[in-house]
Amino acid sequence: MQNLPIYRVGEGHDIHRTAEGRPLILGGVTVDAPFGLDGHSDADVLVHAVIDALLGATGQGDIGDWFPNTDERWRGADSSDLLRHVLESVITGTWQIQNLDCTISAERPRLSNWKEAIRQRMSELLNIHVSAVNVKAKSGELVGPIGRGEAIAADVVVLICRELPKKSG
């Protein structure tokens, strides 16, 4: 009997308010903008959404469980380091990332010129081929906090798989 792989899907979402005097970091890339995002860590909404998607797919809770904003250890943390920590758990569990689909919603700055750099960086951080990563950018169409430029959000879907151990005999 053939052992078929197990597939799981995870989704992640994050949103942060814009904040003057902070760098704007999206997907581990510092984006040229006159503002950044407010948060306990570096407020990288895309990496935070990726973390939640991975944790959801593997049934390991959410980013708040792992890195609570009440814990001073995580104040100002580089979200890429948080992702590396989560990846150790995912890889230890023998899961492999198949693909990642990301949407960043921001009225400003326009992200079309940044999508490829973000895609490349996410590929590096996740140690997967760049063809397995997609990054889309959407505006808020002047609606709600995103459309007014008050916030930036990210949504992520990830597909992971693991092969079942081979049966002996």
Domains of the chain: 6-162 (3.30.1330.50)
pLDDT of 2: 66
pLDDT at 167: 61
pLDDT given for residue 93 in this prediction: 74
pTM for the model stands at 0.94
| Residue 137: per-residue pLDDT | 98
pLDDT (tens digit per residue) in 88-98 = 988 877 899 99
Q: SS3 for 37? A: strand
Confidence (pLDDT) at 1: 52
Helical packing angle, 115-126 and 45-57, nearest 10°: 40
Q: What are the CA-CA distances from residue 91 to residues 54, 64, 118, 164, 168 (Å)?
A: 11, 20, 22, 15, 24
Low-confidence ranges of the chain (pLDDT < 50): none
